[in-house]
Amino acid sequence: MTVFDAAVIGGGPAGSVCAARLAALGRSVVVIERARHPRFHLGESLLPASVGVLDAIGVLDEVRDSFLVKRGARFVEGAGGDSARAVRYSFGEAFHARWDHAFQVPRDRFDEILLRRAGACGAAIQEGCEATRVVFEQGRAIGVEARSDDGTQHAIEARVIVDASGRDAIVARAAHSVERIAHLDRTALFTQFRGAWRDEGEREGDIQIVVFGEGDERGWFWVIPFRDGRASVGAVVSSAWIRKHQKVGAAEALFAAAVEEAPTVASMLAGAERLFVPGATADFSFRVGARRGDGWVAIGDSGGFIDPLFSTGAHLAMHGALRAADVIHTTLAAGELNADHLEPWEREIRAGAELFIGAVQAFYTGDLATYLFAEPQHPFLRRAITSMLSGDVFASDARWVREMRARFPARA
């Protein structure tokens, strides 16, 4: 039986970036992906700090040619309709902005680009194949048991197992080490429209984040424009809001109720064509006890999931995947991968994720909104918020990072 250097569970952004990097470095890699691409997925808005990852694995030109450029994020008060108070954060104003833009990416096409890139770099791609269990021997991960969509069972041996299984978090859930983050129990209601309002010129690709409700019922909409005229539109609502509207009905009626509470969104959608009936997904944020062990590492959402307010999912996934791949490659050259080898990597990724968690928690309590919509805004804090929105959260010694942690500490 072939023993791969790495078996990657999941062909989303985390798994594909990790596999592409390892394969390009000469490692033997297999990607085990349950779905067959292209497939629908939420999380379509990238952050500027991820652009360097796309460049590193050789897909930046294709991404630039395929998707709408995003140069900023605009926060809007939902109750105001056409006269709503709004503030825009331009990525070019961030501290140390290496990239002043990102992209709005329909995930079916984007994820397929990344997965095919991993294959082009030399990774073996097994689509329609579900990892059912990670195999451990004396505490070390040594392989994966998998089932093809025709029911065939097979085993895959590898020196390193990379859990990029998303919120399935196959290693963490088997170890019962998943812990929900308090007060971030949310539900996302989502659909797409054609012909929704969008800004013009260099602001055309901005994500619109529309805030509505107060207290425990505070929620928000995303409106993400795509190059082909479509827009991803979704509402993230609290469990308290769901309970209040539980008699409304299914996701379609709940989505309509949220739009009714946010006249600004109703105005943006006036005259637009809805492309499919709204769906719903539980959006429970969680941490995991460990992202690493002897012979394994968890990257992307399998290492913890954060509310999508700041479009952090794909960014944390791709950055963490690239860095993990480099550690794996270097370590395998000298011997076996042990948990200690990944300690600096985990510390870096957790620190960035916790900064985002603190900011998201502060948004829902209302503390962050005071700064988002402040008039006038303190120049330093404005640039600090812009830097966070850009995804530049891994420079833990930067003054703005220290300031954000002090003002918005992540709570257990």
Task: Check whether residue 139 and residue 30 sit in a common domain.
Answer: yes
Task: Check whether residue 144 and residue 293 sit in a common domain.
Answer: yes
Task: Check whether residue 38 and residue 127 sit in a common domain.
Answer: yes
Whether 364 is covered by a domain: the verdict is yes
Task: Check whether residue 233 and residue 317 sit in a common domain.
Answer: no
Task: Check whether residue 254 and residue 275 sit in a common domain.
Answer: yes
CA 331, CA 47: separation in Å to the nearest integer?
29
pLDDT for residue 208: 98
pLDDT for residue 240: 92
Of 233, 255, 280, the residue at which a domain comes to its end is 280
Task: Check whether residue 204 and residue 294 sit in a common domain.
Answer: no
pLDDT for residue 183: 81
Structural domain boundaries, residue 165: 3-67+105-178+285-407
Task: Check whether residue 368 and residue 390 sit in a common domain.
Answer: yes
User: Taking the complete model, does pTM exceed 0.85, yes or no?
Assistant: yes
pLDDT for residue 204: 98
With CA atoms as reference, report the closest residue to 21 among 90, 118, 89: 118
CA 306, CA 317: separation in Å to the nearest integer?
11
**Torsion, CA 294, CA 300, CA 305, CA 309, rounded to 10:** 160
Whether 261 is covered by a domain: the verdict is yes
Task: Check whether residue 301 and residue 347 sit in a common domain.
Answer: yes
CB of 161 closer than 8 Å to CB of 9 = yes
CA 45, CA 392: separation in Å to the nearest integer?
15
Whether 76 is covered by a domain: the verdict is yes
Exposure pattern of 230-259 as b/e (b: 16+ CB <10 Å)? bbbbbbbbbeebbeebeeeeebbebbebbb
pLDDT for residue 81: 66
Tokens of 120: 């082009």
What average pLDDT values come out for the chain (412 residues) when binned by 10 residues?
94 98 98 97 97 98 98 91 85 94 98 98 98 97 96 96 97 95 91 98 98 93 98 96 86 96 96 97 90 98 96 97 98 96 97 96 92 90 96 90 94 83
Q: What is the 3-state secondary structure of the chain? A: CCEEEEEEECCCHHHHHHHHHHHHCCCCEEEEECCCCCCCCCCCECCHHHHHHHHHCCCHHHHHHHCEEECEEEEEEHHHHHHCCEEEEEHHHCCCCCCCCEEECCHHHHHHHHHHHHHHCCCEEEECEEEEEEEEECCEEEEEEEEECCCCEEEEEEEEEEECCHHHCHHHHHCCCEEECCCCCEEEEEEEEECCCCCCHHHCCCEEEEEECCHHHCEEEEEEECCCCEEEEEEEEEHHHHHHCCCCCCHHHHHHHHHHHCHHHHHHHCCCEECCCCEEEECCCEEECCCEECCEEECHHHHEECCHHHCCHHHHHHHHHHHHHHHHHHHHCCCCCCHHHHHHHHHHHHHHHHHHHHHHHHHHHCHHHHHHCCCCCCHHHHHHHHHHHHCCCCCCCCHHHHHHHHHCCCCC
Determine the straight-line distance between the first and last CA of the chain, rounded to whole angstroms: 45
Of 236, 252, 280, the residue at which a domain comes to its end is 280
Whether 246 is covered by a domain: the verdict is yes
Dihedral angle sign, alpha carbons of residues 171, 174, 175, 177: positive
Task: Check whether residue 248 and residue 359 sit in a common domain.
Answer: no
Whether 412 is covered by a domain: the verdict is no
pLDDT for residue 248: 75
Of 261, 280, 299, the residue at which a domain comes to its end is 280
Task: Check whether residue 150 and residue 263 sit in a common domain.
Answer: no
CB burial of residue 376 (10 Å; 0-12, 13-18, 19+): exposed
Task: Check whether residue 319 and residue 381 sit in a common domain.
Answer: yes
pLDDT for residue 80: 78
With CA atoms as reference, report the closest residue to 20 among 6, 39, 34: 6
- The domain that holds 266 is classified in CATH as 3.30.9.100
- The domain that holds 306 is classified in CATH as 3.50.50.60
Total domains in the fold of the chain: 2
Task: Check whether residue 121 and residue 224 sit in a common domain.
Answer: no
